[in-house]
Amino acid sequence: MTIGPAPPPAVARTAAAPRPAPTQAGAASDSAIRVLICDDSAVIRSALARMLDSDPRIRLVARVANGQEAVAAVRREQVDVIVLDIEMPVMDGMTALPLLLQADPGVRVVMASTLTTRGADIAMRALRLGAADYLPKPSVAQINDNSFRTELLAKITGLGRLRRGAAVGHSAGQTLPHAARAPSAAPSLPATPLAKPRPGLARPPKLLAIGSSTGGPQALFTLVQSLGRDIAVPVVLTQHMPATFTAILAEHITKLDALPCAEARDQEILKPGRIYLAPGDRHLMIDDVGGSLRARLSSDPPENFCRPAVDPMLRTACVATGGRMLIVMLTGMGQDGLLGTKQVVEAGGCALAQDEATSVVWGMPGAIARAGLCHAVLPLPQLGAQVQRMLRGAA
């Protein structure tokens, strides 16, 4: 399998010094995901450590208070995933990020961002510079929230698995992009039984719909860049994300110099070649008004514990297009989008899913793949080209 190159990060990465061999004390934990916490708050470091220690798949190898200490720790220790705060004394997270990636180009960095516009912008910039994911950081009073713990563990275990898969791919001589460093059949992953792929589109689609969640922003950057600028239908997108972050995500997608992206506005007519993103805390619905597709924003109750959710977007788009649409389901936790995809496919539409080996969490794409709703299940770097072929009727 050949995986196309991803856009290089803006920071050049130099060859890293060989990692030290595990000590005898750490040999028993070789299979565990090795994590470093970097945060200037002792309270936050302790709370994160308790969460990580509760998961036997994870081994906490270091807790440090600033970026300078994190760089030194990565040069000293074998680390798979770093949880990196942004605002810190001595050396902040954005200054430390390129140095960490130089020290170990394969390490996965999760930026811990505050729920502010500035924090969201910094987190999205970090993703474009090589960070693997972001984590909205709650306040000290909210740090023990169970939903935060669930998201933290899901991202760390998923990124740790990708890191291990990338190491296998590298040793086999494969070239893997940063956003999806794992071969399509990494030996560390069990084979997942999939239903037989479905046939392609019977009619030209009127709409491209994308759903994503955990690990989604980095996957979206890769997908959008591979789509290019020549898309003859509107694109609608639901990414599970706090309200503060969605407008910033749209800005950073637009900066990729591919398809322009903006938060959808209520009653806006959808135009070809543009991406309409569900705003945080609002469902994005699609209506047919006089033969034109129109966005409708809704504050209806959350579905699948999410608002925005993928299912209402797909469900309403299916009615508006008569099933003439193509779905791309990217990495994400849970199974939001399963029921909507089923409705679309039964109406004559088509779905593609990101494969397990390149997904941070193979929940949403895995759900539609196992249900037999997919035309194809592909590594992330191959999805864009397949979308282009199907939209042009060459599938």
Identify whether the C-beta of residue 309 lies closer than 8 Å to the C-beta of residue 283.
yes
User: What residues does CATH 3.40.50.180 cover in the chain?
Assistant: 207-391
CB atoms within 10 A of CB 140: 11
110-128: burial string, b at 16+ Cβ within 10 Å, e else: bbbbbeeeebbbbbbbbbb
Is the preceding omega at residue 8 within 30 degrees of 0, hence cis? no
Q: Dump pLDDT digits (tens) for 80-134.
A: 999 999 999 999 999 999 999 999 999 999 999 888 888 999 999 999 999 999 9
The CATH homologous superfamily to which domain 32-175 belongs is Response regulator (3.40.50.2300)
| Residue range 268-287: mean pLDDT, rounded | 97
pLDDT of 394 above 70:
no
pLDDT for the residue numbered 310: 98
207-391 — its CATH code? 3.40.50.180
Q: Which residues are catalytic?
A: 213, 240, 336
Closest by Cα among 323, 382, 327, 338 to 202: 323
Identify whether the C-beta of residue 284 lies closer than 8 Å to the C-beta of residue 301.
no
Q: Dump pLDDT digits (tens) for 24-78.
A: 334 335 789 999 999 999 999 999 999 999 999 999 999 999 999 999 999 999 9
DSSP helix/strand/coil, 356: helix
Q: Extract the tokens encoding 26.
A: 């750490």
Model-level pTM greater than 0.75? yes
Our CA angle for 377, 329, 198, nearest 5°, is 45
Can you tell me the distance from the alpha carbon of 281 to that of 283, in angstroms, rounded to the nearest whole number? 7
User: What residues does CATH 3.40.50.2300 cover in the chain?
Assistant: 32-175
Q: Extract the tokens encoding 356.
A: 């397990």
256 alpha-carbon distance from chain centroid = 16
Torsion, Cα 100 103 105 107, to 10 degrees, reads: -60
pLDDT for the residue numbered 151: 92
Phi and psi based region of residue 44 (left: phi greater than 0; alpha: psi -120 to 50; beta: remaining):
alpha
Q: Extract the tokens encoding 101.
A: 């990636």
